[in-house]
Amino acid sequence: MLKEVQNVLQKDRDRPRRWFEDDYFDLIVWYRDDGGISGFQLCYDMSGMERALTWQDEYGFSHNRIDSGREDFHTLETPILVADGKFDAHMVLEKFIGRCAGMDNEIYHIVTERIKEYAKLNRGM
């Protein structure tokens, strides 16, 4: 079940954010000054091959694999986003819906609608 992380460090005062997490997802939601949602990043498959679907109202969508930068247990590098292929929208949407009981309705709605929109835009992938 996705739970909100409390006392999230606000790195950018112009884009406050909220963060939700569980063992499969991390969801970061960014806000505009007027309180509307300006974007989100939904990271999924946290214990497998982690990927991220990002949507920003100014730039649109991206889908990436998260490269942890770890070659072995002796190195710790900053994770980076790298190009990735197919997005299994049905599976991600089903898991997301099953894990958001009690989540803010606006966040739930925008994330589910954007997952569906991205899937329609990228049917050929």
Structural domain boundaries in the chain: 3-121
Given a cut of 60, is residue 71 above it in pLDDT? no
Question: How many other C-beta atoms are found inside a 10 Å radius of the C-beta of residue 67?
Answer: 14
What would the mean pLDDT of 71-85 be, rounded to a whole number? Answer: 59
Between 69 and 34, whose confidence is greater? 34
Integer Cα distance of 116 and 94 in angstroms: 11
Given a cut of 70, is residue 74 above it in pLDDT? no
pLDDT in the model for residue 99? 97
- The model carries a pTM of 0.85
pLDDT digits (tens, 9 = 90+) for 32-61: 989 999 999 999 997 778 899 999 999 999
Integer Cα distance of 32 and 14 in angstroms: 7
Percent of the chain with pLDDT over 70: 84
Sequence-ordered list of residues with C-beta below 8 angstroms from that of 58, at least 6 positions apart, any chain: 38, 39
DSSP assignment of 29-86 equals EEE-TTS-EEEEEEEE-TTSS-EEEEEETTTEEEEEEEE---SSTT-----EEEE---
